[in-house]
Structure 1
Amino acid sequence: MDTLRKPPRRILIIEGHPDPSPQRLCHALAEAYREGAREAGHTLRTLILGDLDIPLLTSRSDWESPAPEIVEICQQDLLWAEHVVVIYPLWLGDVPAVLKAFLEQVLRPDFAFDPKRTAKGGLLKGRSARLVVTMGMPGWVYFSWFGAHSLRSLSRNVFQFVGFGPVKTTVFGMVEGASLGRRRVWLDKMSRLGRLGL
């Protein structure tokens, strides 16, 4: 039984795998989190990026122009949320292109941060985040050998920059060919995080 149960929260889950197939581990992790969060009474919304048509930004003027309708809808979900959970696979040492495109589109000036830097910190203060990444290598190798640079950059240079805090991370390594027992441990962990709203 969880003794650290928090009051119900508004939680946005962002599934950052480009393939929306329910067979993907990222989807299973998201579903486990959702189940735990529902049990605890949290209110949930989900964005499955593989199902969304997020256009690429190709110029500064695009970035500074009014956002497309689909991006505005995603921005409203971010404003609604008190806590954001981003789940994605590590691809070529970084986030998949669809997640990068999403963040570039949604975290625009005057929405996520003050381009003139007159406001201290980002404009999305009051929200926390958890970044969940899956990978083929062992997690300790990612941290000790590669320095977890992309995860740390996503945390510091994106989420903390626009005001999120705290930003917690969870790493699941050696996912290729993982046993059913090991996957069960991961899913149970996500379910518990969901119940706690963390």
Structure 2
Amino acid sequence: MNILILYAYPNTTGYTHSIMNHVQQGAEQKNTVKIIDLYKENFDPVLVFNETKKRRNMQFDEETAVYREQILWADHIIFIFPIWWGGMPAILKGFIDKVFSKGFAYTYKGNLPVGLLKNKSAWIITTEDAPKWYKTLFQQDYGTVLKKQVLKMSGIKKVKHFSLSSLKNLNDKQRKIFLEKMFEQSSKLTI
């Protein structure tokens, strides 16, 4: 299986980076894995429209062509990112805005969206400092927004979401258990 990891976290010594490493190591046991590390690649999340860059032509944008090719190559896409202020990092939001464009990820048939990235599956792995009860009562979970709005609209309907809340309050044993779970889950990925 071809697995693409979309990773959005700037600290290479942080816990979210450890999650990415464990997922990569587990997935590589039986699969081919590529990683798009948005911070390492200095991805420019700013969307620009002007006389030469039109929204209707985003699916042909040369700047993002390599990312579209990697998404098409992938059978399974894994998003790994922290929840900040109730949302995903701006760099990942910009990536979605620029790459998951009309004509590439979806189109319309009349007024209804039609996903163009069918036959793919995805995981969303998020971390956050807020406790789960706070997230449930007071803020939308951007992992769920990504699952239900972006991926579903793009035709990716088989999506799992792994979320680790209260990260700042977890001890080393609890953190290790989650890392082991991510390794175990990713080592089971096969066609």
- Normalization by structure 1: what TM-score? 0.85
Tell me: CA distance 1:153–1:194, structure 2 relative to 1, closer, same or farther (3 Å).
same
Contact 1:54 1:70 in 2 (8 A): no
Contact 2:125 2:163 in 1 (8 A): yes
* Structure 2: unaligned runs, 5 residues or longer: none
- Structure 2 residue identity aligned to 1:192: E
Contact 2:45 2:92 in 1 (8 A): no
C-alpha separation in 2, matches of 1:140 and 1:91: 16
Tell me: CA distance 1:117–1:84, structure 2 relative to 1, closer, same or farther (3 Å).
farther
Aligned residue pairs: how many? 186
Identity %: 25
Instruction: Give 1:63's aligned residue.
Output: 55
- Structure 1 residue identity aligned to 2:71: L
- Which residue among 119, 129, 138 is the counterpart of 1:136? 129
Between 1:104-113 and 1:173-182, the stretch displaced more is: 173-182
How is 1:104-143 mapped onto 2 (pairs within 5 angstroms)?
A: 104-115=97-108, 117=110, 121-143=114-136
Instruction: Give 1:81's aligned residue.
Output: 74
Tell me: CA distance 1:196–1:109, structure 2 relative to 1, closer, same or farther (3 Å).
same
- Which residue among 158, 161, 173 is the counterpart of 1:169? 161
* Structure 1: unaligned runs, 5 residues or longer: 1-8
RMSD between aligned alpha carbons? 2.2
- Residue 187 in 1 paired to residue 179 in 2? yes
Contact 1:139 1:171 in 2 (8 A): no
Instruction: Give 2:23's aligned residue.
Output: 33
Q: Hey, which of these two has a bigger chunk of strand by percent? A: 2
Give CA deviations for 1:42-80 in whole Å, capped at 9, x if unaligned.
Answer: 110000011222241134854323554341101111000
- Normalization by structure 2: what TM-score? 0.88
